[in-house]
Amino acid sequence: MIRVIAGNKGSGKTKRLIDITNDALKQEHGIVVFIDDDKRYMYDLRHEIRFVDASEYEGVHGATADVFLGFLSGMLSVNYDITLICIDAFLKLIKSTPIEETEGFFARLDALSRQSGCNFVMSVSHDAETLPPFVGQYVSAE
């Protein structure tokens, strides 16, 4: 399953994503991972959550969507116990790929989710109503 939290800058997406991530520990029976582009929110997460600062990994922060998908696939290939990956600032992480060019990424992420049994929740700084339909189908209504 993929879930997208969309909204313009300052609309509370990150706070919502942090709450979802912390609350997930009550339901998830595996490892919960939170990926961000810096360490700013590391201490807002419960200590059981694996925090990943993507800027620490050469070529990941600001890479293409395909490179980022490889990063996610690599995480899942070495740890079968990951059941939820939350991604903050998705468009910052793939800033070399415009959202309109990520249809293949979302199709492959959906396949990866099904294959691995891992769910993905991500925040996207973009007006929900103007997102391409291949992203809009994952937008969370809450």
CA distance 18 to 20: 5
* Domain-located, residue 142: no
Higher pLDDT among residues 141 and 49, named by residue: 49
* Domain-located, residue 63: yes
Question: 111-121, pLDDT tens digit by residue?
Answer: 999 999 999 99
| Burial classification of residue 8, based on how many CB atoms lie within 10 Å of its CB (0-12 exposed, 13-18 middle, 19 or more buried) | exposed
* Domain-located, residue 106: yes
The CATH number of the domain holding residue 25 is 3.40.50.300
Question: 68-99, pLDDT tens digit by residue?
Answer: 999 999 999 999 999 999 999 999 999 878 89
Domain span at residue 34 reads 2-136
* Domain-located, residue 94: yes
* Domain-located, residue 141: no
* Domain-located, residue 87: yes
Share of the chain above pLDDT 70, in %: 99
* Domain-located, residue 68: yes
Report the number of distinct structural domains present in the chain.
Answer: 1
pLDDT value for 9: 87
* Domain-located, residue 7: yes
Cβ-contact 87, 120 below 8 angstroms: yes
Quote the pTM value: 0.93
Q: Which band of pLDDT confidence, cut at 50, 70 and 90, is reported for residue 141?
A: low
CA distance 100 to 140: 19
